[in-house]
Amino acid sequence: MRYNQVKDLVEWAAGFHARMARQYSEAADKADNERLKMGLDYLASRELKMKTGLEDLFHDGTDHSEVLETWFDESSEFPEPPELDRIADQTVTGSIEDAMKTATTAHERLQALYKHRAARSRIEPEAEFFDSLAEGHNSEIRHMMASMEELQGV
């Protein structure tokens, strides 16, 4: 769809995090290694936390309507969602390294999407909103990878 509101993208991103959480949970259920299972369960919990954080934007008592109801025009689909959709549909298997690679790739792509929207924003509050989401993902990537690396060393 060419014209979207910011809230459409936020809802899509929350759904993306839910899909990633499901993917990690399903992989954890099938894991034959306890350390891998723990890592995948951890990634699933982080994805659910990010999903909830995005959904809270609609119900946290603050008025984000100026930004959430802002319309934007993309001449094509969002630049990243088809790739992100493929990532969310992949099956995570193998090792902690594979799970870390999937998580890092997904978060870097989502961060790139937010940076893209910030750069194309028409109003300052929209740019600040997407810059904040991008920075949050940068922080989340660092946190997740540090925790996963610690788990690898256990």
Q: In this structure, what CATH number is given to the domain that contains residue 67?
A: 1.20.1260
Q: Which residue has the tokens 């989340």?
A: 140
pLDDT at residue 42 in the model: 95
Which has more pLDDT, 2 or 92? Answer: 92
Give yes or no for residue 116 having a pLDDT over 70.
yes
pLDDT at residue 76 in the model: 62
Alpha-carbon span 33 to 47, nearest angstrom:
21
Alpha-carbon span 16 to 32, nearest angstrom:
26
Which domain range does residue 123 map to? 6-153
SS3 content of the chain, % helix, strand, coil (to 5): 75, 5, 20
Alpha-carbon span 31 to 51, nearest angstrom:
24
Q: Which residue has the tokens 């256990």?
A: 154
pLDDT digits (tens, 9 = 90+) for 70-112: 888 776 655 567 778 788 877 777 788 889 999 999 999 999 9
pLDDT at residue 13 in the model: 93
In a domain, 62, yes or no: yes
In a domain, 23, yes or no: yes
Tokens of 2: 């060419």
Q: What one-character-per-residue DSSP string does 20-86 give?
A: HHHHHHHHHHH-SSHHHHHHHHHHHHHHHHHHHHHHHTTTSSS--HHHHT-EEE-SSS-SSHHHHHH
In a domain, 52, yes or no: yes
What is the tally of structural domains in the chain?
1
pLDDT at residue 115 in the model: 93
pLDDT at residue 154 in the model: 59
In a domain, 1, yes or no: no
- Give, in degrees to the nearest 5, the angle at Cα 10 between 6 and 14: 170
Give yes or no for residue 11 having a pLDDT over 80.
yes
pLDDT digits (tens, 9 = 90+) for 14-51: 999 999 999 999 999 999 989 999 999 999 999 999 99
pLDDT at residue 79 in the model: 55
Which has more pLDDT, 13 or 85? Answer: 13
